[in-house]
Structure 1
Amino acid sequence: MNEHGRHAMETMKNHDPETYAQIADPETYFSNLGRQIQDQIWSLSEDMIPMRGQEEPMEFIGMVNMAKLRARGKVYQEMIYDSLPKEAEEMEPAYGPQEDEEN
């Protein structure tokens, strides 16, 4: 299992244990998911990497690394985080001071 599969597995264990418990073979499921995530990251990062211009080599390497990080974040959001149940505090709107706070 690659790092992406491990991350997805740990995230689901911690944030959606009911769904995790329903997976018959977590090792196989998250190994496959990890490969899918890796493929998506590679594909998306290739699209996000800018054409090589006149920038210094280290600057271009930084641009490539940022594209890979952005792709990873986007794929993680779509393939891992969006499927998790919302946390209670995330679902409650913040409308200013709480009633028990004194002004």
Structure 2
Amino acid sequence: MNEHGRHAMETMKNHDPESFAQIADPETHFSTLGREIQEAIVALSAELIPMRGQEEPMEFIGMVNMAKLRAREMVYQEMIYASLPAEPEEMEPTYGAQEHEES
């Protein structure tokens, strides 16, 4: 299992344990998902990497690295995070109620 599969497995295990428990063979499922994620990142990276221009070599390397990071972020969002249940929103304190009680 590659790093993407491990990340997906740990994320689901921690944020959607009910769905995780329903996967008959997590090792195979997340190994396959990890390969699919890797392929999607490579494909999207190729689209996001800018054409080589007049920039310095190190600047271009930085641009390539940023494109790869953006691709990873976008693919993770689509293939891992989008299927997770929404996190409960934290309740904001009700300042008005406290001020009223102090009066």
Name the TM-score, length of structure 1 as normaliser.
0.89
1:98 matches 2:94:
yes
Number of aligned residue pairs: give it: 99
Q: CA deviation at 1:98?
A: 2.1
Unaligned 5+ segments in structure 1 are none
2-structure distance, mates of 1:101, 1:14? 35
Q: Deviations over 1:2-50 (max 9, x none)?
A: 0000000000000000000000000000000000000000000000000
1:45 matches 2:41:
no
Superposition RMSD in Å: 1.8
Equivalent runs, 1:18-29 vs 2, <5 Å: 18-29=18-29
Equivalent runs, 1:2-41 vs 2, <5 Å: 2-41=2-41
Name the TM-score, length of structure 2 as normaliser.
0.89
Unaligned 5+ segments in structure 2 are none
- Paired letter, 1:65: N
Closer/same/farther in 2, CA of residues 54 and 29 from structure 1, 3 Å limit:
same
Closer/same/farther in 2, CA of residues 101 and 31 from structure 1, 3 Å limit:
farther
